[in-house]
Structure 1
Amino acid sequence: MVAPPVRTGLSLGRFGAMREAGLIVIILALCVAMSFASPHFATWGNVRAMLMSFSIEGIVVVGMTVLLIVGGIDLAVGSVVCFAMVVGGSMFLMGLDPWTACLIAIGASALVGAGMGFFVTVVGLNHFITSLAAMVIVRGLCLVITKGTPLSLFTLPPEFKAIGQGEFNGVPYVIIIFVVIVVLFDFLLRRATAFRKVFYTGSNEKAAEYSGIRTRQVKFWVTVLCSTLAGLAGVIYMSRFGAATPTFGVGMELNIIAAAVIGGASLTGGAGTIFGAILGIALLSVVTSSLILLDVSVYWQDMIKGCILLAAVSIDHFLNRRKS
């Protein structure tokens, strides 16, 4: 006797109920369509380039997603990525070994997050205004440190360059680092009590305070975390390209915020998943690669990305209204 396919139905039902299910279907459909539209899309070279691209940005997306869940936002992530590159590169050119220089760079990035966290939690400013000011200040620091001139770091030792350029059994180290960070923070958000406070604070800050959660501390450390991960991404970029350009990362915050929101992170806080955010950055990477292969003008590319972000924010707004 053949048992009825109850489990299959339940699995499909659960998959369809996932907010990420739509993203998965869209990404797969776009990949299939581009495989027919361009013979270069499905090649290993292009796939590897896409994986390398969104892996480093994906590290920043993880921090942004956690910050959005707590009810904040960081417009300075692109500047902080550049800041880490510039600080690490400058320290190396001054004679420090690259490992120590990069630890200092990541620490400096964390201090930027601590500064923003101070103005948000102690002074009482909102994340938007604070991070907007930090974006301009940090970008200015990059220009001051480099005097507007890119730093050439071709003398970096091979073992350090291997972080951004090396492979382990054919898999780039960048992708391995990215996967480890994604798995770690996805687990922490789902299982760790400390990270559950992030959801409680973002969902209803007053109720969280009444239940004994120190919401200011939660918001402060999440802001620091976002900047720290941006600093880590900056160090990896420096290792990959062997240079530090003071204008690097301009507009990166658009991709990062768009990816997190497309993946289900709410701009009002209290909702979001690491898995969804990674799907969001993967979708944007596929879209960017598709536009390049189809020879679409770079000006149209920016407009299309902006439209995708607007659509994602609009969908998020209507979903929140419906829940209310």
Structure 2
Amino acid sequence: MLADTLGTKAVRPRSWKRIGSMREAGLIAIILALCVAMSFASPHFLTLGNFRAMLMSFSVEGVVVVGMTILLIVGGIDLSVGSVVCFAMVLSGSLFLAGLDPWSASLTGILASALIGCVMGFFVTVVGLNHFITSLAGMVIVRGLCLIITKGTPLSLFTLPPAFKAVGQGSFHGVPYVIIIFVAVVGIFDFLLRRATALRKVFYTGSNEKAALYSGIRTNHVKFWVTVLCSTLAGVAGVIYMSRFGAATPTFGVGMELNIIAAAVIGGASLNGGSGTILGAILGMALLSVVTSSLVLLNVSVYWQDMIKGCILLAAVSVDHFLNKRKPS
């Protein structure tokens, strides 16, 4: 019986890989088609400045997408990532203004973000709440903490030292450090998710938690640490944003979770758990970035932009639902 269970699990990752490759190829084709269409619609689209702006806009959010994708694969979801990004910013910024050096302040902000993940992971794995309700409560609580820390007033951090500002504003041979960090995070976790034996437990847990448990996988430990990872990466993104903008606003990141979840789902991460890739999620983020840039260049109202993004998310979830209905049990 155990051998049959493990045998079934050994086959499924290969089928997910084929489906993931199809989704990724489709996304690349859509992105290229949009780029070609926009090259005729606007002379400003195919410019180095526009592509640099698009890369910068989604590179930091892309760090958060990595954590969200892995969490979706395990069968969870985190609605608090926007609030945690803001929390890392305002806590690190407040500690810096209080006299702590920016590196230590940033490390404290990231560790505090990880602690938030630990608390949410505790309520999910020990208390038994689901990720949706837990992260919804976390979103509200953490946003409240941001307002308490700042008293509702944005923090000006223009006195940050140049070496720290370089993380968000500097470049190496013309390539912004933000993009280098983004590529490094994506490359590391994409490789681990595809190749590391330990991370296969994420797929097994998300696909069939009971079967994974019977196979000897400590599923609660997997869910706990993936929840912590998602919050930690959100904290890293918050510190990068602080360095990039030289400020910390208590309302920053409101609605960010929509873009993050949309990108992961468009890229093939299933809301039912068990499937998804980092590369697919990043392509989903790239698609949203291209759509946003296109709408701006075409002078489409910001109100319509949100509606269009919502429609794209609805279409992606519909495709995910259709694929899950056809997936063999």
- TM-score under structure 2 length normalisation: 0.93
Q: Quote the offset at 1:190 in angstroms.
A: 1.0
Aligned to 1:84: 88
Aligned to 2:175: 171
- What SS class does the counterpart of residue 129 from structure 2 fall into? coil
Which structure 1 residue ranges, 5 or more long, are not aligned? 1-13
Tell me, in whole angstroms, the C-alpha distance in 2 between the residues paired with 1:16 and 1:150. 42
Q: Quote the offset at 1:16 in angstroms.
A: 11
Aligned to 1:130: 134
Matches within 5 A, 1:271-282: 271-282=275-286
Aligned to 1:318: 322
- What SS class does the counterpart of residue 39 from structure 1 fall into? coil
Tell me, in whole angstroms, the C-alpha distance in 2 between the residues paired with 1:100 and 1:34. 44
Aligned to 2:266: 262
- What SS class does the counterpart of residue 198 from structure 2 fall into? helix
Following TM superposition, where does structure 1 have runs of at least 4 consecutive aligned residues deviating by more than 4 angstroms?
14-17
Tell me, in whole angstroms, the C-alpha distance in 2 between the residues paired with 1:17 and 1:132. 32
Which amino acid is 1:288 matched to? T
Tell me, in whole angstroms, the C-alpha distance in 2 between the residues paired with 1:221 and 1:227. 10
Matched, 1:25 2:26: no
Aligned to 1:152: 156
- What SS class does the counterpart of residue 267 from structure 1 fall into? coil
Which segment drifts farther, 14-23 or 138-147?
14-23
Which structure 2 residue ranges, 5 or more long, are not aligned? 1-17
Matches within 5 A, 1:230-245: 230-245=234-249
Aligned to 1:305: 309
Q: Quote the offset at 1:18 in angstroms.
A: 2.0
Which amino acid is 1:304 matched to? I
- What SS class does the counterpart of residue 18 from structure 1 fall into? helix
- What SS class does the counterpart of residue 283 from structure 2 fall into? helix
- What SS class does the counterpart of residue 272 from structure 1 fall into? coil
Q: Quote the offset at 1:179 in angstroms.
A: 0.5
2:225 to 213, 221, 228: 221
Which amino acid is 1:180 matched to? A
- Could you list the per-position Cα deviations for residues 97-152 of structure 1 after superposition, in whole angstroms to 9, with x for gaps in the alignment? 00000000000000111111000000000000000000000001000110110000
Matched, 1:74 2:78: yes
Tell me, in whole angstroms, the C-alpha distance in 2 between the residues paired with 1:102 and 1:173. 17
Aligned to 2:214: 210
2:52 to 23, 31, 48: 48
Alignment CA distance shift 1:63-1:283 (3 Å): same
Q: Quote the offset at 1:191 in angstroms.
A: 1.1
Tell me, in whole angstroms, the C-alpha distance in 2 between the residues paired with 1:15 and 1:87. 41
Q: Quote the offset at 1:36 in angstroms.
A: 1.1
| Preserved contact between residue 15 and residue 21 of structure 1 (Cα < 8 Å) | no
RMSD of equivalent CA atoms: 1.2
Q: Quote the offset at 1:178 in angstroms.
A: 0.5
Which amino acid is 2:150 matched to? T
- TM-score under structure 1 length normalisation: 0.95
Tell me, in whole angstroms, the C-alpha distance in 1 between the residues paired with 2:29 and 2:41. 18
Q: Quote the offset at 1:193 in angstroms.
A: 1.4
- Could you list the per-position Cα deviations for residues 184-211 of structure 1 after superposition, in whole angstroms to 9, with x for gaps in the alignment? 0011001111111000100100000001
Aligned to 2:3: none
Aligned to 2:108: 104
- Could you list the per-position Cα deviations for residues 275-321 of structure 1 after superposition, in whole angstroms to 9, with x for gaps in the alignment? 00000000000001111111111111111111111111111011101
Tell me, in whole angstroms, the C-alpha distance in 2 between the residues paired with 1:58 and 1:40. 24
Q: Quote the offset at 1:61 in angstroms.
A: 0.3
Which amino acid is 2:210 matched to? K
